[in-house]
Amino acid sequence: MGKAWVFEGSIDTDMLAPGPYMKFGIEEIARHCLEALDPNFASRVRPGDVVIGPRNFGLGSSREQAPAALRHLGVAAVLAPSFSGLFYRNAINVGQLVLECPAADSIRNEDDIEIDAASGQVFNRTTGSIIACAPVPPHLLAMVKAGGLLPWLEQRIERGELQTR
Amino acid sequence: MGQTLTEKLIARACGRDAVTPGELVTCKVDLAMMHDSGGPRRVKPMLERLGARIWDPDRVVVITDHYVPATDDDSREIVATARDWVKTAGVRHFHDSIGICHVVLAEQGHLRPGIFAVGGDSHSPTGGAFGCYMFGIGATEMLGVLVTGEIWLRVPQTIRLEWTGHLAHGLSAKDMMLAMCARLGMDGGRYQSIEYAGPTVRALGMQERMTLSNMAAELGAQAGIVEADQTTRAFLAAAGVASVDIESWQGDADAVPAELHRFDANALAPQAAAPHSPANSAAVTDHGVVPMHVAYIGACTGAKLVDLRMAAEVLRGRRVAAGMRLLVGPATAQDEAQARTEGTLGALLQAGAELLPNACGACAGYGAWRFEAGTRVIASTARNFKGRMGSSSAEIWLGSPYTVAAAAVTGHLTDPRLLLDRASGIVDRGN
């Protein structure tokens, strides 16, 4: 469980991974994640916290540093009514859990949130309400649990399922 | 019921006779394109960690455009990594500092109807202008493609955007695109596949079709496709691609798209998008008088040869307004050379344009070119997100190259038709 960070308006990849820091590694990019909306987010978010966003979350660039910055900060999940398709794929690939929740906007800042990724159930401990989210397809959830596509490929290579030539 | 072109392209790539929207398939990749930012510097360490090699180096194209020309040690190292890596990885198709990846990919003849391609950039749908399926992916997903030669896909629905009517002088594909952004919104594409169709689209040259496909990204679609025809064949022949099959890559006449949206070019006026979204588009004249500080003709979306020609048509024999800056970064060195030869570039420079390198430049917002606080910019680029191209208090407006050039002359948002001589010839849409 973790604390909810609610962001409204429109969240694009430039807000999540600002251009001027793209030449650096993920530690530096993560330090500036969402600073245009909340300068304290990166320094105050704690592992296990949950980001609540608007529809079409993560629109814009193909830069996977956008979800990777959130994962680097320890964000347990991003909940939004919808995600940009490219952001959604990148999130899975870097091991960041994302859940489509039509009623994500019922969550308030600092609400205490608990998530069951497999069933797509989100429990708001502050209000006592349960918020139904679309479950992540099993093969994608497996990739998230492995830590993303890279460790997942590593596992497949170890099992001999994939030849690397 | 027949198949849409989208379904035919995906069916071929996943080795099936037909596919149905919604099903998960694994496709073989014919072409994988990367640039210097999301490419070698990111995939090299991951390939080393896996001890893996590229499945087929001849199907990989690397193009440097984001960190060129390099301006500091960090960007120099990023570009150097790309140069070294293509050698060790055996990638022959390496285009270094000759232009922006999506435009270079087309001009160098890598695209053709029927192929299934991925690119490490969100504007990769640009390739769809050639009747192929192309979409953008991130660096880790690119690693997966490089190792396996495959990628999973949820077969998209087909969204047909059909244009009829004649595009009048002073209007362009960019105006069509901004009008579509206004009507459908930035998530109107729902990560499905857009097919641009109708006589207005067929009348466009390849570079304007590329503008439509490019900004499928701004509609939130995975891909943005135009069926190939003789215009496609002629462009590819000029790019050195001899035999092109266009007949196999047409949607069936009885295929039914999931959505059909109709647009009328006869009713279209020049469009401009207010900050901070392409969906904030409306007719230029509906925005009132908006003073500008900078006019920017740049990026894969808005600085191809055809775009430079549109700007030159407005600027020829005129001067940039006092206090205005006009920045022009031709999308590729080849387009710049042609523009120079034919006098297009001369018209821009004589009007007072400052020439920028053949690179992503200010559009990517990565460094060297960032607009300062309070600056109001009108750009021929694709995106005007808050803070993307500079300070979060910079205001970025979007318009066609005609509209950007008109603002450069007057110093404020202006309907370019007021400056175009109705008697002069229409811009050559041959590219």
Q: pLDDT tens for residues B304-363?
A: 999 999 999 999 999 999 999 999 999 999 999 999 999 999 999 999 999 999 999 999
From B333's Cα to the closest Cα of chain A, the distance in A is 24
**Are residues B316 and B168 part of one domain?**
no
**Are residues B146 and B21 part of one domain?**
yes
> Which residues on chain A are in Cβ contact (under 8 Å) with B46?
150
Return residues 39-58 of B near A (CB < 8 Å): 46, 49-53, 55
Does the beta carbon of B136 lie under 8 angstroms from any beta carbon of chain A?
yes
From B256's Cα to the closest Cα of chain A, the distance in A is 23
Q: What is the pLDDT of residue A162?
A: 86
> Which residues on chain B are in Cβ contact (under 8 Å) with A29?
none
Per DSSP bridges, beta strands B116-119 and B133-136 are: parallel
**Are residues B299 and B230 part of one domain?**
no
- Evaluate whether residue B429 is within a structural domain: no
Counting residues of chain B whose pLDDT is more than 70, the rounded percentage is 97
Select the residue of A63, A82, A164 nearest B50 (Cβ to Cβ): A164
Identify the three-state secondary structure at position B380. Answer: coil
Q: What is the pLDDT of residue B423?
A: 45
**Are residues B136 and B258 part of one domain?**
yes
Identify whether the C-beta of residue B87 lies closer than 8 Å to the C-beta of residue B378. no
- CB–CB contact B141 A55 (8 Å): no
Q: What burial letters (b/e) apply to B293-304, b meaning 16+ CB within 10 Å? A: bbbbbbbbbbbb
The residue out of B247, B264, B281 marking a domain boundary is B264
Q: What is the pLDDT of residue B180?
A: 98
A165 pLDDT tier (thresholds 50, 70, 90): low
Does the beta carbon of B137 lie under 8 angstroms from any beta carbon of chain A?
yes
Q: What is the pLDDT of residue B428?
A: 57
The residue out of B242, B264, B286 marking a domain boundary is B264
Q: What is the mean pLDDT of residues B58-86?
A: 97
Select the residue of A12, A84, A149 nearest B385 (Cβ to Cβ): A12
Nearest chain B residue to A24 by CA distance is B74
Q: How many CB atoms lie within 10 A of CB B69?
A: 14
Structural domain of B298: 273-418
Select the residue of A10, A20, A150 nearest B143 (Cβ to Cβ): A150
- Evaluate whether residue B330 is within a structural domain: yes
Distance CA B180, CA B188 (A): 9
**Are residues B210 and B89 part of one domain?**
yes
Q: What is the pLDDT of residue B422?
A: 54
Distance CA B37, CA B361 (A): 13
Q: pLDDT tens for residues B178-205?
A: 999 999 999 999 999 999 999 999 999 9
**Are residues B241 and B318 part of one domain?**
no
- Evaluate whether residue B311 is within a structural domain: yes
> Which residues on chain B are in Cβ contact (under 8 Å) with A153?
50, 143-144, 147
- Evaluate whether residue B426 is within a structural domain: no
Interface with chain B: mutation pick from A61, A96, A144, highest number of B CBs within 10 Å? A61
**Are residues B260 and B277 part of one domain?**
no
Interface with chain B: mutation pick from A10, A16, A89, A156, highest number of B CBs within 10 Å? A89
**Are residues B314 and B251 part of one domain?**
no
Tokens representing residue B103 in the block: 């435009």
> Which residues on chain A are in Cβ contact (under 8 Å) with B276?
10
CB pairs under 8 A between A and B: 123
From B140's Cα to the closest Cα of chain A, the distance in A is 6
> How distant, in Å, are the alpha carbons of A50, B89, B130 from that of A80?
11, 40, 34
**Which residues make beta-bridge pairs with B162?**
B197, B262
> How distant, in Å, are the alpha carbons of B274, B325, B369, B396 from that of B372?
18, 13, 10, 11
**Are residues B216 and B67 part of one domain?**
yes
From B121's Cα to the closest Cα of chain A, the distance in A is 5
CATH (domain of B216): 3.30.499.10
- CB–CB contact B365 A164 (8 Å): no
Interface with chain B: mutation pick from A62, A87, A94, A136, highest number of B CBs within 10 Å? A62
List Cβ neighbours of B303 (8 Å cut-off, separation of 6 or more): B100, B297, B328, B329, B330, B331, B335, B380, B401
Distance CA B222, CA B210 (A): 15
Q: What is the pLDDT of residue B8?
A: 98
Q: What is the mean pLDDT of residues B147-170?
A: 97
For chain B, the average pLDDT equals 96
**Are residues B239 and B304 part of one domain?**
no
Interface residues from chain A to B (CB-CB < 8 Å): 10, 12-15, 18-20, 22-24, 36, 55-56, 59-64, 82, 84-86, 88-90, 93-94, 137, 139, 148-150, 153-154, 157, 162, 164-165
- CB–CB contact A62 B38 (8 Å): yes
The residue out of B264, B297, B323 marking a domain boundary is B264
Domains of chain A: 2-136 (3.20.19.10)
Does the beta carbon of B84 lie under 8 angstroms from any beta carbon of chain A?
no
> Which residues on chain B are in Cβ contact (under 8 Å) with A94?
138, 140
**Are residues B165 and B141 part of one domain?**
yes
Identify the three-state secondary structure at position B49. Answer: helix
**Are residues B321 and B250 part of one domain?**
no
B424 pLDDT tier (thresholds 50, 70, 90): low
- CB–CB contact A55 B187 (8 Å): yes
pLDDT higher than 90, residue A164: no
- Evaluate whether residue B61 is within a structural domain: yes
- Evaluate whether residue B431 is within a structural domain: no
Min mean pLDDT across A132-136, B89-93, B395-399 is at: A132-136
Q: What is the pLDDT of residue B430?
A: 57
From B219's Cα to the closest Cα of chain A, the distance in A is 10
Nearest CA-CA partner of A76 in A40, A120, A115: A115
- CB–CB contact A165 B52 (8 Å): yes
- Evaluate whether residue B368 is within a structural domain: yes
pLDDT higher than 60, residue B425: no
List Cβ neighbours of A42 (8 Å cut-off, separation of 6 or more): A30, A31, A32, A33, A34, A35, A73
- CB–CB contact A86 B50 (8 Å): no
Name the one residue in this structure whose structure tokens are 């690179």.
Answer: B359
ipTM of this predicted complex? 0.97
DSSP letters, B356-368, are: --SS-GGGTTSSS
Domain count, chain B: 2
Distance CA B134, CA B137 (A): 10
- Evaluate whether residue B424 is within a structural domain: no
